[in-house]
């Protein structure tokens, strides 16, 4: 009789310990997933804001008439330079669907940089075509980012 009591106590302790470990493991996975989601959210926001800032600066630069072609080209490249770092960060962490859409958006903003560096302004056909592509690729990357953040 004494062995059954001891055995029942040990089995009960093992069940309790296993359950406790299972709950803790699940909690840890949940916290890790939430942390990664926050990291991706911050990275996505930074990526989009850096490219938006570059677009705004390129628009302002396109309206300047007092720069030589070389100065315009150099300034346009400097304005866009910070976008490369964010792109590389995003490529490391983001899933393929987000990376593909983000690269398409990045390339259209880089094409805008080339349009501005060539001396074209908002009234030029190249600008208008690029503006439509920017809008389309921005919507695509935002949708991919939202899907990624909601999925997990």
Q: Which residue has the tokens 């075509």?
A: 129
Rounded CA gap, 129 and 119, in Å? 16
Give how far Cα 39 sits from Cα of 31, 32, 64, 92, 148, Å: 12, 11, 38, 12, 12
Task: Note whether 43 and 94 are within 8 A (CB).
Answer: yes
Q: Which fold has domain 34-151?
A: 1.20.120
Q: What is the pLDDT of residues 64-78, one digit of tens each?
A: 888 888 998 999 999
Give the global pTM.
0.80
Q: What is the pLDDT of residues 83-122, one digit of tens each?
A: 999 999 999 999 999 999 999 999 999 999 999 998 888 8
pLDDT at site 64: 83
Average pLDDT over residues 121-143: 92
Instruction: Express as a percent the part of the chain with pLDDT over 70.
Output: 95
Task: Note whether 119 and 69 are within 8 A (CB).
Answer: yes
Specify the DSSP element, H or E, that contains 122: none
């Amino acid at each position: 009789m004494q062995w059954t009591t001891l055995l029942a106590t040990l089995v009960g302790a093992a069940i309790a310990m296993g359950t406790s470990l299972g709950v803790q493991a699940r909690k840890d996975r949940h916290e890790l997933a939430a942390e990664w989601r926050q990291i991706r959210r911050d990275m996505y926001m930074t990526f989009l804001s850096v490219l938006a800032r570059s677009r705004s600066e390129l628009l302002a630069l396109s309206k300047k008439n007092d720069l030589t072609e070389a100065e315009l080209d150099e300034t346009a490249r400097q304005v866009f330079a910070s976008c490369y770092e964010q792109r590389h960060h995003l490529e490391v962490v983001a899933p393929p669907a987000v990376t593909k859409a983000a690269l398409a958006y990045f390339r259209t903003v880089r094409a805008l940089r080339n349009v501005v560096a060539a001396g074209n302004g908002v009234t030029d056909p190249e600008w208008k075509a690029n503006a439509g592509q920017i809008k389309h690729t921005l919507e695509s990357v935002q949708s991919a980012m939202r899907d990624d953040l909601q999925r997990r």
